Amino acid sequence: MDLSNDLRQTYDVSENPALAQFDLQTRSPPVTTLQSVGHTTLGLDCLLIVIRRLYSYLFARYSARSPVNLAAEAENPILQMAWQDFGEESAQDWPALKRQILERFNPTEAFPQEIWFENLCFSPLMLKTFWSRPEHHLYRVRLVKSGSLWSRLEWAEEDLVRQSTMVVDQKKAQNLTFQEHIDQNFGWKKQDDGTEALYACRRPPIARIKYTKDKGLEPFPFQDIKNIRLPIAGADKDENYIPVASRSLYTLLAAVFLVKTGQNDCVRTYEFVGSELVLSPSGPFCAGRSRSLQTQESGKVMLFYAHSKDDSMIHSGYGEFASRPIKTDMDAAINAMSAEYEDEWKR
């Protein structure tokens, strides 16, 4: 991979990160064909778009040439590929680059699902180099109470990483709202040994949900999905557990529509607390209007969210689809505060 094509070198990200952020948010991978690569690439294309959207949100953290970032990118070429300039002049190199990456996952004609979005996104390599980072951890240390005493139940790292995907299955509890489904991921949960442990939200910068829709049920309103509030547990002065002491606002950054065959995985991304981002150039990995969170049909969608500290920015004027020219001023303003935000988050 040509490291000179890295956006962090193309732009002066230390002085003016906005141009690199704009590129990350709006440029899509060069379109390649099944014949030129030898494998379907829609899962990889969607993953690159999601990673770039998360890069642009926590730009200061991910753009830094830190030992953690360098080690992760050296081990996982997908993370490095997401920093590439997706300009037309490099398009001829992409079939070979995609083939080289995908063949690390050993896809075969009999088992092509290894490179579909969901399996690729949560592959051991991605779990180790990306999702295991603390900004993606949903839960604090689990707590167990015996009488008036609390004890800590530590996580195995692999369990913490996998459990950090919230689950919303519309069919399992048909009378619940989308927010109430989310709340089911927190609170007291029975462990394998029969004890009950408290699952409390860590308030991470990035959160994710696997949402299963059912065609026999009315779809949730888009605004209920776009902006959610994770419950933050607390305790009173007598150390009594308060299940929802406060709530933290999260806003949708990306939705990946998962297709059973994996051949047509597609993605839609959003501004921070804003409208749909229109990717250029468009490709088969872009979710058109036929793919909607509002349609009454069965399906699975991976949703990726960013934490917002300011409830006043939320309003209902943004729909699921873009209806105006896209601007990213909001993202630029939010990302300008990323250093301050990360210092606060590390408390």
CATH for 262: 3.90.70
First to last CA, the chain: 37
Render pLDDT for 146-198 as a digit per residue (tens, 0 to 9): 777 788 888 888 999 999 999 999 999 889 999 999 999 999 898 888 888 99
Distance (Å, whole) CA 328 – CA 27: 13
> What is the CA angle 74-27-13, rounded to 5?
60
3-class SS of residue 178: helix
Domain containing residue 299: 3-345
One DSSP character per residue, 14-26 reads: TT-THHHHHHHHH
3-class SS of residue 168: strand
Render pLDDT for 42-60 as a digit per residue (tens, 0 to 9): 999 999 999 999 999 999 9
Total domains in the chain come to: 1
Asked whether 318 and 327 are in contact (CB, 8 A), the reply is no
Residue 113: DSSP 8-state: G
User: How many angstroms separate the Cα of 64 from the Cα of each of 17, 18, 61, 69, 80?
Assistant: 11, 15, 6, 7, 13
Of 274-283, 314-323, 324-333, highest mean pLDDT: 274-283
Render pLDDT for 89-109 as a digit per residue (tens, 0 to 9): 677 889 999 999 999 887 776
